[in-house]
Amino acid sequence: MSARRLRKTLAVPAAAVLAAPLALAAPPVAAETVDTGDLTVTYVESARWNTGYSGEITVHNASGADLTDWTLEFELPEGGRVHELWNATVEGTAEEGYTVTPPRWGAVVPAGGSYVFGFNGVHEGGNTHLLDCSINGANCAGTPSQGPEHDELSVAYFTQWGVKERDYHVRDLIDSGSADKLTHINYAFGNVGSDGECFMTNDPEDGDALADYGRAVPASESVDGAPDGPGQPLRGNFNQLRKLKELYPELVISISLGGWNWSEHFSDAALTPESRERMVSSCVDLYLRGDLPVIDGAGGEGAAYGIFDGIDLDWEWPGSEGNPHNTVRPEDRENFTALVREFREQLDALGEETGRHFELSSFMPAGAWRLDSGYELDEIMPDFDFITVQGYDYHGTWETTTNHQSNLLPDPNDPGEVISTLTNVEAYLERGVDPEKIVLGVPFYGQGWTGVEPGPAGDGLFQSASGPAPGLYADGTEDWKALKELSGFEVHRDDDLGTAWLYDGETFWTYDDEISMDQKTTWAMDNGLGGVMIWSIDGDDADGNLITAIDAALGR
């Protein structure tokens, strides 16, 4: 199915209006047409047994005119077929695909309404989603978005836990206008176990399969307004991402592996050729082939196929300390190179099998010392489509003195270790990295301290603190959407350094707003970088003002 389709219309014949004898005939009245962009189709697996299942298909008409004729075309996953269908007419086979039209007595889809029909089918244990689905020649999800109007990458991390802890859902990407401005979403995170394999679990310390694909998403949170059925093999965030991709077919979604809390076993998994092959194949099977373990009735072979377009590596950090529970070895540096090569080879093999390109990216650190201890950049960069470079957490509440967490340029008055986005990116360029493969990370949150005296400048910068500032989710950090609503704080800014902070005489927050986002994005473009990465998208406000500032600067 084409990613971009021309919009088409269905003409509804207009009847001529007959006038009374000797009266002038009134001109024909053109009936309102139905734009295919106003037509959507939703599917729910309503029941499943052994090798059979029941499905319900709904044709939605959001236009102002009745739809009197329609043609639905789709395929089923391998091994699936339609056994019987009611309230519509079906032709075709599992091999050639199916074409469904109204029954012989007709099936008008009223303006602003819908029409429902159902069928019984056969499955082989995987998902039963409609594939290559079109209604009157257009995408079943409606008119697809054209995406950002620029070639640079705009990458956002979507956090698994944000749905529960921050009430931020996949649908919010659409409601805020953010989805229109993104080229990539990295879903954070996938875990690697002590056996060196990617896995799913509902153990709160190690995963949340319920949020990933087990929770039945209600209509109010759903991308297309249709709730998840309790018998569906794919529910939760994964099913919402699938629906999002139907609306934005050029959006690239990758699974990000590791992160600060789940990098514990990376060193072991990367240690030998056998362990590397086992880790990579397990991750490919789980996320790219979509073979999810059945947990609470959800999952199955191929249940998540087609959602993820790549893998993002977030090992924090090879060859240097990260989370205290991590294993760290001197040989992590060369083992990471071999692990990246194994990922690239297996992704390419899957690409040849499926006719797709699967992307490989990596989150990379700030600080030259981490680069030299953990990365053979000249060896690994050819295997990556791009890398995202940490442009934040330069300073934070693990220190007892206030400072900038994401300043663009070095501050000559900094009494501590001088670090900045400029010096950070220069470390990569000096080691031969192509700037077009560098995507600059920016934070949608701030770092904060309390018990801060004003200091000689009266702004709290570079002053001792008694501890981290209270935060809504964790002390010492706060989302931008919350920081912008704080009262009693004065905004301080150094436009030369590309940095901003808030101070009220007691509490100090270093953060980024629309102005500094514009400054950093413009700087990245002026220096030939590949784009901007966001950690994390749930820190933006309901109107998507930060991503809007980034998008505007990328489009210059």
Looking up tokens 């701030």 gives 446
Residue entry with tokens 């469904």: 100
Cα–Cα distance measured from residue 440 to residue 537, given in angstroms and rounded to the nearest whole number: 15
Q: Whole-angstrom Cα distance, residue 310 to residue 256?
A: 9
Q: Which of 246, 316, 359, 478 is catalytic?
A: 316
Q: Please give the Cα distance from 295 to 85 (Å, whole number).
A: 30
Q: Are strands 184-192 and 252-258 parallel, antiparallel or unpaired?
A: parallel
User: Which of 472, 310, 457, 331 is closest to 386 using CA atoms?
Assistant: 310
Amino acid at 369: W
Q: How far apart are CA 242 and CA 183, in angstroms?
A: 15
Q: Bin 415: left if φ > 0, else alpha if -120 < ψ < 50, else beta.
A: alpha
DSSP reduced 3-state for 193: coil
Number of Cβ within 10 Å of residue 28's Cβ equals 10
Q: Find out whether 381 and 360 touch, Cβ atoms under 8 Å.
A: no
Which whole-number Å values give the CA distances from 159 to 46, 61, 247, 549, in the listed order?
29, 33, 20, 21
Residues with Cβ within 8 Å of 30's Cβ and at least 6 positions away in sequence, in order, are 14
Task: Assess whether 316 carries a catalytic annotation.
Answer: yes
Q: 6-26: buried (b, 16+ CB within 10 Å) or exposed (e) per residue? A: eeeebeeeeeeeeeeeeeeee
**Active site (catalytic) residues:** 316
